[in-house]
């Protein structure tokens, strides 16, 4: 089941992610990053799985350098999980879907 993830940007990050009343997963990625491309379909599936329960977003670090810098993103893909505007989990690399889902589930309950 695939859904529509949110495209996070420097401009909408505060409103869509930090001020969300839901847990938000943000995939920091770039078009030239091989592992990021592998993670793409996983993020898409998660956005379908968590529709209405969590915000699933992707942020292109090349197009949105301010937000990437703000969170100290040095290697991609980096997945940050936000709850109440705070980073509660940080995951690096192209992780399997079940591992990412487990982290999301821990913070939804």
Q: Which of 36, 46, 54, 55 is catalytic?
A: 36
Q: Which of 33, 91, 92, 95 is catalytic?
A: 33
Q: In whole angstroms, what is the distance from residue 87 CA to residue 26 CA?
A: 10
Question: Which residue, among 26, 28, 43, 24, has the nearest Cα to 85 in the 3D structure?
Answer: 24
For 6-100, strand residue ranges (E) read 6-8, 23-29, 54-60, 78-83, 86-92
pLDDT in tens, the chain (109 residues): 456 899 999 999 999 999 999 999 999 999 999 999 999 999 999 999 999 999 999 999 999 999 999 999 999 999 999 999 999 999 999 999 999 999 999 999 7
Domain extent listing, the chain:
6-108
CATH number for the domain running over 6-108: 3.40.30.10
Tell me if residue 33 is catalytic.
yes
């Amino acid at each position: 089941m695939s859904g529509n993830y949110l495209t996070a940007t420097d401009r909408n990050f505060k409103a869509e992610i930090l001020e969300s009343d839901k847990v938000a997963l943000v995939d920091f990625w770039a078009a030239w990053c091989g592992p990021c491309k592998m993670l793409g379909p996983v993020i898409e599936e998660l956005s379908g799985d968590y529709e209405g329960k969590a915000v699933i977003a992707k942020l292109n670090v090349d197009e949105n350098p301010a937000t990437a810098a703000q969170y100290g993103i040095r290697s991609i893909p980096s997945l940050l999980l936000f709850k109440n505007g705070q980073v509660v989990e940080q995951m690096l690399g192209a992780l399997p879907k079940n591992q990412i889902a487990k982290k999301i589930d821990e913070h939804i309950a």
